Chain A
């Protein structure tokens, strides 16, 4: 996993940002809720994004991600709860928040009759950036986004990928400290996706920009984000780094030891002193010994609450020593990574199963009434 660099923000802007908050690029919400008529889109959501984080914001369709982002950007008023973006209150200080943020929505619109150069300059001037600075920034951003060659073509002729890159250039025109991205690489070709990711990492590492990334591309989130929150039906399911999410999901890190598939091997594996699953494929010359839980080793955690690899290695070594003492020929040892996709589905499924269990035996009316009442955020 790529961990984003955290640097102090020394981003220079022409905006009237207060010096006292210039290093605070964090995002926090506390029991944030939004109800549309009888539909609760966001329900007591509490998240914390530190300055300089690349924060993955995940959830199934309709989970409330976009509504949350819109509330954080000051485009929607919350029904209840509170939130802060860059130290500013999302209700009282939405005008100040606009100076320090950029939002790339899932489907942003463009003035098709403008060209990219006019479009970016137009937005720069709306941000009250001096016209010379605006022109220079526009030129730099168009080059950075690979749009310099088409800078004078009408936007209506742009492909989706080009528009997406132009949208990203637009949100960077005011040099924001915090950016919100809703499916930034949707519809982009693989090259375009890599380029966008590169720009985001650069922004984060070099300028300390905090990024809140909402995406369904779990591999992308996994490679970019140092922290992740998963929400479902407007409520927080889980929040933390990928190791913490894995622990919360209950998925066990497995270790696969492959040994030679021979008679002696099969006999010795019948009486192992530790818990393991044995997979033998008749056609294969290897036997898989799958150890799901290296307990008690896996339970040993260091001061930072992360699994300590030294202990892990010790555990594996003792198992390997035992196998070798038994005369087994060890081919290799693998530790397949549990990817974010598995964690995501496990967490969402567990939550939905819990909800289904809780709903069993509850009448429809009672269920509706209960759903309309604010619910507590799950501890994480």
Chain B
């Protein structure tokens, strides 16, 4: 059966609450953020577009963290559990194993995204931003989840230890997700800072969402550079996964 491993991954995710926990946690965070945006004395003073942008940012950030956490142990946990050999001995190819695992993470993202839609609708009520916010959040979320999951699965297969794989993946994510932690404003303006900002898919996503939701530039043609950068990043990550999945082999423990 073509998607048997995918089905197994989904059952495993929800049986062990790996996937379910993310959905529950995400809905709690969305509720809290929405509540604060609407009731907090200072936050409620924000422009409605900025409120919506904040929520979109949180949806995307949570999606990336979720995908990195789940994907970075996708292969290594099978190796550690001793189940990877039996998977490799089935007619499934390395590519099929990797991509069915990727698909299961994207499915969990879709569930998380579905949970976020009512919150996006509530925050954007009374504006013409609802559809754009839902579309761009879904689009960028899907591309970034695909990209980060692919990269993390590849790291997981390469490093073969869940602990190290999660650590490396989170480190990459941290660098991309929060450049402000590492770079002061003056450093951001240096050529290195500008170069990093230009290749950072997370920055492009956030800048694009800001442009669509806050500045009301909703046409895709106005977002072409951001869209292209994020898509190129995703393609590179998928190619890395494709290349590594051809080389799955089990090394004996000496």
Residues of A within 8 A of B (CB): 36, 39, 41, 62, 66-67, 70, 73-77, 95, 98-99, 101-103, 105, 107-111, 113, 122-123, 125-128, 131, 170
Q: How far is the CA of A89 from the CA of B136 in the complex (A)?
A: 50
On whether the beta carbons of A41 and B92 are closer than 8 Å, the reply is: no
Some 26 contacts from A to B, beta carbons below 8 A apart, are A36-B254, A41-B254, A67-B252, A70-B252, A74-B89, A75-B85, A75-B88, A76-B252, A98-B89, A101-B89, A102-B89, A103-B86, A108-B83, A110-B82, A111-B8, A111-B83, A113-B12, A113-B16, A122-B8, A125-B1, A125-B4, A126-B4, A126-B90, A126-B92, A127-B90, A128-B1
Most buried by B among A36, A70, A131: A70
Q: Can you name the residue of chain B whose Cβ is closest to the Cβ of A102?
A: B89
Give bound CA distance, A126 to B4, whole Å.
6
Nearest CB of A to B78, in Å: 8
**Complex Cα–Cα for A62 and B92 (A):** 30
Residue of A nearest to B77 (CB): A109
The residue in chain B whose Cβ has the minimal distance to the Cβ of A129 is B1
B81 contacts chain A at the CB level, 8 A cutoff: yes
Chain A residues, Cβ within 8 Å of B11: 113
- Complex contacts, A66 vs chain B, CB 8 Å: 252
Q: Who on chain A is nearest to B96 by CB?
A: A126
Nearest Cβ on chain A to B162's Cβ, whole angstroms: 13
Q: What residues of chain B have their CB less than 8 Å away from a CB belonging to chain A?
A: 1, 4-5, 8, 11-12, 15-16, 78, 81-93, 249-252, 254
**Which residue of chain A lies nearest to B79 when distances are taken between CB atoms in the complex?**
A109
Q: What chain B residues lie within 8 Å of A107 (beta carbons)?
A: 82
CB contacts (< 8 Å) of B249 on chain A: these are: 75-77
A123 contacts B86, CB within 8 Å?
yes
Q: Which of A36, A62, A75, A101 sits near B250, CB closer than 8 Å? A: A75
Contact B82 A109 (CB under 8 A): yes
**Partner of A109 from B5, B83, B93 at Cβ < 8 Å:** B83
Which 5 A-B pairs give the minimum distances between C-beta atoms? Answer: A109-B82, A109-B83, A109-B81, A126-B90, A125-B4
In the complex the two chains form, is B4's CB within 8 Å of A75's CB? no
Contacts of B254 in A (CB 8 A): 36, 39, 41, 62
Are B12 and A105 in contact (CB-based, < 8 A)?
no
**In the complex the two chains form, is A105's CB within 8 Å of B16's CB?**
no
- Residues of chain A lying within 8 A (CB to CB) of residue B251: 36, 76
Q: How far apart are the CA atoms of A41 and B86 in the complex, in Å?
A: 22
Contacts of B93 in A (CB 8 A): 95
Please state if A126 and B85 are interface contacts (CB–CB under 8 Å): no
Give the docked Cα–Cα distance between A111 and B87 (Å): 12
Q: A105 to B1, Cβ gap below 8 A?
A: no
Does the CB pair A98–B82 fall under 8 Å? no
Would you give the shortest CB distance from B199 to chain A, in whole angstroms?
34
Q: List chain A residues, Cβ under 8 A from B89.
A: 73-75, 98, 101-103
Q: Which chain A residues border B91 with CB–CB below 8 Å?
A: 95, 98-99, 126-128
Given A70-B250, A95-B91, residue A113 in contact with residue B15 (CB < 8 A): yes
Q: How far is the CA of A98 from the CA of B92 in the complex (A)?
A: 9
- Asked whether, in the complex, the Cβ of A76 is within 8 Å of the Cβ of B250, the reply is yes
- Cα A131 to Cα B84 in complex, Å, equals 23
Whether B85 and A105, one on each chain, are in contact in the complex, defined by CB atoms closer than 8 angstroms, is yes
Q: Which residues of A contact B252 (CB under 8 A)?
A: 41, 66-67, 70, 76
Q: Considering the complex, give the chain A residue whose CB is closest to the CB of B8.
A: A122
Tell me the nearest residue of chain B to A97, going by C-beta: B89
B residues in contact with A128, CB < 8 Å: 1, 91
Q: How far apart are the CA atoms of A100 and B91 in the complex, in Å?
A: 10
Residues in B neighbouring A105, C-beta threshold 8 A: 82, 85
* Distance A105 CA – B252 CA, assembled complex (angstroms): 11
Chain B residues whose C-beta falls within 8 Å of the C-beta of A170 in the assembled complex: 86
Q: Which residue in chain B gives the minimum CB-CB distance to A180?
A: B89
Question: In whole angstroms, how far apart are the Cα atoms of A330 and B92 in the complex?
Answer: 68
**Cβ of A103: which chain B residues have Cβ within 8 Å of it?**
85-86, 89
CA distance in complex: A108, B254 (Å): 17
**Residue among B5, B91, B93, B251 with max Cβ neighbours from chain A (10 Å):** B91
| A-side contacts of B87, CB under 8 Å | 126
